[in-house]
Amino acid sequence: MECPGFLRSPETWTVEDTRAYETNTVWLGIPLLLLMENAGRAVADAVECFLGDVRGKRVVVYAGKGGNGGDAMVAARHLSDRGADVTVYLLYDPKLVEHEDARLNLQATQRGRTVKLIHYDDPKQYRPEDADALIDGILGIGVKGRLREPVASALAAFNASKGLKVAVDVPTGLDPDTGEAVEGTARVDVTVTMHTLKPGLLAERAKPYVGQVLVAEVGMPRDAYILAGPGDVAARVPQRPRDAYKGGNGRVLTIGGSYHYYGAPFYAASAALLAGADLSFLAAPEAVARSAASANPGIIPVPLKGDIIEVSSLEALVEEAKRVHAVAIGPGLGTAKETKDFVASFLEAIRGKPVVIDADALKVVAEVRPRLWPEAVLTPHRGEARMLAGHDGQPEQLAPEIAKGYGATVLLKAPKPQGDVICSPDGRCRYNITGHPGMAVGGTGDVLTGILAGFMGRRAALSKVLDPLHIAAAAAWTSGRAGEMAVEAKGENITALDVLNMVQGAIREARSYMRGGG
């Protein structure tokens, strides 16, 4: 059935995508309460589309304690306003409603008279209903594992009821990423999903549960998924699990340094730790490695003979790379021919490994022009981007060209107002607008390199799918925000060390934007 006002969306978002972009929406200044209002109205529109005039029709709504329940209560209000006889079954004690915006809509329902609100202390009191329409607003994308009480009893009554059945976002019990359904999953005639399709809704095994899928545009700005934001950190960089053990949350190897450059590899290896890596190894000429470990005892030195890194260290460092989850190469390496030969051979030997290629290592890539891989992230500034591309151009032109030409992900560092341009070899691009002109000092790019390697290592260690485009966006936002915070604290004459010391604060701020519910 065709319903006006709904989208034809070929794009899919995972739960992680949705969480990230909703958080970015809040950061951009658009309250989720507005999105909830639009989502609930869309559900009401879908019910009206299938039933026609809803005046006098009986509608039963099952609402959980998260954002999905909030959407359902908005739908209940709109349907009541249109003349329907609406009853809301609130599955949990009102005091347990945890989502701030759902709580506001619950309070509106409690204060009103037209929508009947019922909560059963005993889930066995749920009975099948004879209604014109029933709305499942219980869990949505927040489903985890088997259904427990009171959800199991409420859904048993829902599935046994007569009437048009509508799910808010995703039928409760259905995994929105995989389409796997647990025992007792809601079986609906219509699913009204928000923003875009969820991959699980398209799965063959989901067909008995989802019915016709309608995609509702609910007011999320395009900037929420084009711009890097705190959601990319909060949703995509895993938090330490309760059963964490040393090394299980990311091991990073930084390769850099030479007789002339001591600071760059120190900044990168330190930033990897502050980004959440459990262990940060630094392979560098002996004096550089020991100097860094002395300044930050958390860095594990891998001292190499000589004043520069040469091919003689290749075999040992390839073995080191096998023991870590991500590599960063380039900070302070220098441009000696022996070092360049090492870089070219090393990159070929670790093909497929998550690696951040920065600074002097980019010069080798520009000369050799190898075919890289998406988990290899190039982090050039504008001058290095011209070198990689072989010609001049604007960052938004150079970044996708370099990504496609080398088969790698590119984080092209550029100042405001345009900001950083981040592109993957498949043509997708994102942008970052955090940062400050005060960051235009030596070492801040090395801090970014370490953050990115730490974030990638964290995901790889916890067996999360690694989409380097989004992780690079998260790192760019974190680095830029750390720079802004350093300027706020000290004035615009800051150092890379000032930025480094704000990395944890930027990550903490990003997580503060994340909202509950599902």
**Is 60 exceeded by the pLDDT of residue 395?**
yes
Q: Is the pLDDT of residue 516 over 70?
A: no
pLDDT over threshold 90, residue 370: yes
Task: List the single range of 9-18, 248-257, 341-350, 478-487 with lowest mean pLDDT.
Answer: 9-18
Q: What is the mean pLDDT of the chain?
A: 94
Contact 438, 499 (CB under 8 A): no
CB 194 within 8 A of CB 39: yes
Tracing tokens 């046994």 back to the chain, one arrives at: 160
Percent of the chain with pLDDT over 90: 89
Domains and CATH numbers, the chain: 15-226 (3.40.50.10260), 246-509 (3.40.1190.20)
Does 135 score more than 90 pLDDT? yes
For residues 90-110, give the mean pLDDT. Answer: 91
pLDDT at 352 over 70: yes
Identity of the amino acid at 173: G
Please name the residues in contact with 181: beta carbons below 8 A apart, sequence gap of 6 or more.
171, 173, 174, 175, 205, 206, 208, 209
- What confidence tier does 2 reach under pLDDT thresholds 50, 70, 90? confident
409-464 pLDDT per residue, tens: 999 999 888 899 999 999 999 999 999 999 999 999 999 999 999 999 999 998 88
| Residue with more model confidence, 240 or 319 | 319
pLDDT at 285 over 90: yes
pLDDT at res. 106 = 92
pLDDT beyond 50 at 96: yes
Number of neighbouring beta carbons within 10 Å of residue 487 = 20
pLDDT of residue 241 exceeding 80: no
Look at residues 63, 55, 62 and name the one whose alpha carbon lies nearest to residue 80.
55
pLDDT at residue 518, rounded to an integer = 46
pLDDT band at 517 (very low <50, low <70, confident <90, very high): very low
CB 204 within 8 A of CB 182: no
CA angle, residues 111, 69, 139, in degrees to nearest 5: 160
Q: What secondary structure does DSSP assign to 89-147, as a single string?
A: EESS-GGG---HHHHHHHHHHHH-SSEEEE--SSGGG----EEEEEEEES-GGG--SS-
Q: What is the DSSP string of 227-290?
A: B--HHHHHTTSPPPPTT--TTTT-EEEEE--BTTB-HHHHHHHHHHHHTT-SEEEEEEEHHHHH
Q: Where are the beta strands (DSSP E) in 409-464?
A: 409-412, 420-423, 429-432
Question: How much is the pLDDT for 260?
Answer: 86
Neighbours of 34 (CB within 10 A): 14
Whether residue 248 has pLDDT greater than 90: no
For residue range 11-70, what is the model confidence (pLDDT) as tens digits? 899 999 999 999 999 999 999 999 999 999 999 999 999 999 999 999 999 999 999 999
pLDDT at 243 over 80: no
Q: How wide is the angle at C-alpha 43 spanned by C-alphas 122 and 41, nearest 5°?
A: 110
pLDDT beyond 50 at 94: yes
